[in-house]
């Protein structure tokens, strides 16, 4: 039996599990707090409380997906359980972020572009990437763009009238629907290439205000008001989000893994989300 151990069973790992469990995979997911046990079990995932003993799960695992947030020392699982590096695994996936490329003033980047992390969080990401790649395991790095999907879309704020279109000329972001993340991971498992790095994003980087405008159009509601970035009252995390602008190429997931994105742009992604919610 093929067994996936997810270290940090979050939003993207859950989407992959939804694909693998019906195929007969065994999935073990780490979580903090027993209050999520029932939810994981209902999805066919065996919960594993963390911090805890990973050895029994590692003895069963054939594949590992890491989606835990790194810290100043890099990846928390490698630091706490260095025995992971000795496990006889067929495939290891590390979920990183396109934030490791830093600010490019709206220019394009691909997997060959140098990393230029502009914050502690992205510097820790680069460190964690390198730690995993140095283990000698069959590691694949997936640099994810801004993730959206069920429960993570703009519709709630647009409906509530709290959405604001923050205008910063020249600002663009890349995005990815969570189901397309799962499709990329599944394709990589089927066609492993240890050491490979993949940008996981859709085909159309776009200004954030355009996404809100499209959400309002789909809902048949007025366009959210525009607010100038320089005068906007933004919390530090949100302001740092706007401090970087880049366009990310995704050619490799298409040419090497053969992935055809279900949601190749934010318009198709938002329409799919709204349809899944049952309309306006």
3-153+174-205+249-263 belongs to which CATH class?
alpha beta
Quote the pLDDT of residue 279. Answer: 65
Q: Are 236 and 174 in contact (CB under 8 A)?
A: no
Strand partners, 4: 27, 63
Q: What is the largest CA-CA distance in the chain?
A: 56
Residue 48 makes CB contacts below 8 A (sequence gap 6+) with 5, 28, 29, 30, 31, 54, 57
pLDDT at position 1 over 90 = no
pLDDT grade, residue 222 (50/70/90)? very high
Q: Where are the domains of the chain?
A: 3-153+174-205+249-263
Query: pLDDT > 70: what percent of the chain?
Result: 99
Distance of alpha carbon 135 from alpha carbon 21, whole angstroms: 28
pLDDT at position 33 over 80 = no
């Amino acid at each position: 039996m093929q067994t996936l151990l997810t270290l940090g069973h979050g939003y993207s790992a859950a989407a992959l599990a939804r694909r693998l469990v019906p195929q007969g995979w065994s999935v073990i997911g780490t979580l903090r707090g027993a209050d999520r046990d029932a939810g994981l079990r209902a999805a066919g995932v065996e919960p594993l409380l963390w911090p805890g003993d990973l050895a029994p799960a590692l003895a069963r695992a054939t594949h590992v997906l890491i989606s835990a947030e790194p810290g100043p020392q890099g990846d928390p699982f490698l630091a706490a359980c260095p025995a992971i590096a000795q496990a006889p695994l067929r495939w290891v996936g590390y979920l990183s972020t396109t934030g490791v490329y830093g600010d490019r003033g709206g220019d394009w980047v691909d997997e060959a572009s140098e990393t230029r992390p502009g914050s502690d969080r992205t510097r820790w990401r680069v460190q964690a990437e390198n730690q995993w790649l140095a283990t000698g395991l069959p590691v694949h790095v997936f640099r994810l763009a801004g993730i959206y999907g069920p429960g993570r879309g703009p519709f709630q704020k647009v409906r509530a009238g709290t959405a604001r279109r923050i205008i910063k000329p020249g600002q663009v972001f890349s995005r990815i629907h969570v189901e397309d993340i799962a499709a990329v991971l599944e394709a990589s498992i089927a066609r492993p290439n240890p050491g490979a790095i993949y940008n996981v994003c859709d085909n159309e980087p776009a200004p954030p205000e355009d996404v809100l405008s499209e959400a309002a159009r789909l809902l048949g509601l007025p366009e959210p008001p525009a607010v100038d970035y320089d005068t906007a009252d933004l919390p530090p995390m949100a302001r740092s989000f706007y401090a970087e602008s880049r366009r990310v190429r995704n050619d490799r997931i298409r040419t090497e893994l053969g992935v055809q994105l279900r949601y190749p742009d934010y318009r198709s992604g938002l329409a799919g989300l709204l349809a899944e919610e049952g309309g306006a």
